[in-house]
Structure 1
Amino acid sequence: MTKVKICGLQTIEHIQSAVENGVDYIGFMFAPSTRRITVEEAIILNDKIPHNVKTVGVFVNEAIDIMKTIAATLNLDYIQLHGDEGQDVIDALAPTPVIKAITLKTNYDLLKIQSLQPAFFLFDAPGLKYRGGSGQSFDWTLLENFNQCKAPYFIAGGLHSENVLQAIKQTKPYAVDVSSGVELDGIKNIGKIKQFLTTTKSGEMQYDNNY
């Protein structure tokens, strides 16, 4: 069963909706973004997340000591690196495991994974104003029959309840990562959160049973 990560949650109401509907990972945005929150806000939200749901801090080219301090303060399960960070940064963040985001435009971009050894990769579409969160999809055919990845991977970029099952079928990820796809007018929406999680979880079960 493919896991689901929802990124950029900013309210207790939206955290509770995600948890109640079966989210597996929740991402806190500490990088420049319209969804960015402070550590103090994250502490309040974190208190509403049960231990079975993993927490992820998302950073872009942040100082290592700042990331380590935030990870320790929140007891984050993972740090997500969405910038130009290399293996030296991944190693320096130990023992907190890392999700390393890779922007995919062409097959050439897949070569970037050869020098990296994170716990997970995350393949995303190019950002617009910010890294990631563009609401646009990358070319999923880049991951069809892809078997060279040394770590499980998430896919992100332009996912929503109408296309997530097709994305899973084509790319066969460990997890899907959604943000703008569960928003209405740029704000997280309880109905869309529930719909995305229900579609992904129940739709995959039907797919498995039929095929």
Structure 2
Amino acid sequence: MTRIKICGLSTQEAVETVVNSGADYLGFVFAKSPRQVTAELVKKITTNVPAEMKKVGVFVSPSRDEVETAIQAAGLDLVQIHGEPLTEAVSVPIIRAVSIRKSQTLPEAGIEDYLLLDAPPTKYMGGNGEVFDWQAVNPTELPQDKLFVAGGLTPENVAAAIQYFNPLAVDVSSGVETNGKKDYKKITAFCQAVKEETHVSATNH
């Protein structure tokens, strides 16, 4: 079963919708972004989240201390690092985000536990709704059991992304928004599309 991460959450209503939709990861942006949140807010809006739902903090070129402080204050389960990677471990697993351009050479593995493929940044890192060129990477060369795929995913194209990459998880932010706000129907539709595709894949193999 491909796991689901819904990112850029900033309200309790959005968190509850994601929990009820059957997603696996809640994503919170600590970097500069229209969806930026504080550790205090994350703690507040995730008080009643079930233990199996993992909270992911998203950072851009942070210091280790900045990340560790947020982990403790917000109760994060994983961190996702864009830009300059961390060179020292923190107290939770690390997802390293890599922007994919044409004929991409993936960076050497570092201390991260997971790899996330995303579209190149525009004004902000991630959450731009842009699809990167999937053909620029060869799925068989990727650590599929540790792979997250992001970048312009929507309820309409996520099945194709799963077929191409066979990733551990798919990650969406702007693809489940309307006018910059999380759209509960789209969140539900996205999760449903992932579950349907995963079911089809399982029955065809």
Q: 1:166 aligns with which of 160, 167, 171?
A: 160
The whole-number CA distance in structure 1 between the counterparts of 2:81 and 2:25 is 15
Matched, 1:137 2:131: yes
Asked if the contact 2:61–2:81 (Cα under 8 Å) also holds between the matched residues in 1, the reply is: yes
TM-score, scaled to structure 1: 0.91
Cα distance, 1:127 vs structure 2: 1.4
Cα distance, 1:142 vs structure 2: 2.8
* Count of matched residue pairs: 205
**Other-structure match for 1:56:** 56
Q: 1:147 aligns with which of 138, 141, 148?
A: 141
Cα distance, 1:151 vs structure 2: 6.5
Deviation string 1:45-92 (CA, Å, 9 cap, x unpaired) is 121321011111111112221210110122211111011125x1xx24
The amino acid that maps onto 1:58 is V
Matched, 1:180 2:180: no
Q: Which runs of 4+ in 1 moved over 4 A?
A: none
**Other-structure match for 1:6:** 6
The whole-number CA distance in structure 2 between the counterparts of 1:3 and 1:192 is 17
Gaps of 5+ in 2: none
The amino acid that maps onto 2:129 is G
Cα distance, 1:31 vs structure 2: 0.3
Cα distance, 1:188 vs structure 2: 0.4
Distance 1:64 1:202, change over 3 A: same
Distance 1:17 1:32, change over 3 A: same
Q: Match of 1:73, SS?
A: helix
**Other-structure match for 1:73:** 73
Q: 2:96 aligns with which of 94, 100, 105?
A: 100
Matched, 1:208 2:202: yes
Deviation string 1:126-174 (CA, Å, 9 cap, x unpaired) is 1110011110111112334422539611010000000000011011111
TM-score, scaled to structure 2: 0.93
The amino acid that maps onto 1:72 is Q
Q: Match of 2:66, SS?
A: helix
Asked if the contact 1:101–1:121 (Cα under 8 Å) also holds between the matched residues in 2, the reply is: yes
**Other-structure match for 1:156:** 150
Asked if the contact 2:8–2:35 (Cα under 8 Å) also holds between the matched residues in 1, the reply is: yes
Asked if the contact 2:176–2:183 (Cα under 8 Å) also holds between the matched residues in 1, the reply is: yes
